[in-house]
Amino acid sequence: MIDWLSHFKEIWLIDFEFQCSNGERSIPVCMVAREFRTGRLVRLWQHELSEPPFSLGPDSLFVAYFSSAEWGCHLSLGWSIPVHILDLFVEFRCFTLGLSTPCGAGLLGAMAYFGLDAIDASEKDAMRDLVLRGGPWTADEQRAVLNYCQSDVDALACLLPAMLPTRDFPRALIRGRYMAAVARMEFAGVPLDVNALTKIASSWEDIKVRLIEQIDKNYGVFDGKSFKAERWERWVADRGIVWPRLESGSFRMVNGVWKSLTRNLH
Give the type of residue at 155. A
Q: Taking the CA atoms of the chain, what radius of gyration do you get in angstroms?
A: 26
Element at 87 (helix H, strand E):
strand 84-87
> In the CATH hierarchy, which top-level class contains the domain 2-188?
alpha beta
Residue boundaries of the structural domains of the chain: 2-188, 194-262
Q: What is the pLDDT of residue 154?
A: 97
Q: What is the pLDDT of residue 265?
A: 58
pTM (predicted TM-score): 0.74
Q: What is the pLDDT of residue 159?
A: 96
Of 69, 156, 166, nearest to 118 (Cα)?
Answer: 156
- Those residues of the chain that have pLDDT short of 70 are 1-3, 261-266
Q: What is the pLDDT of residue 183?
A: 97
Q: 44 with 31: CB under 8 angstroms?
A: yes
If one counts every other C-beta atom within 10 angstroms of the C-beta of residue 93, the result is 15
Q: What is the pLDDT of residue 116?
A: 95
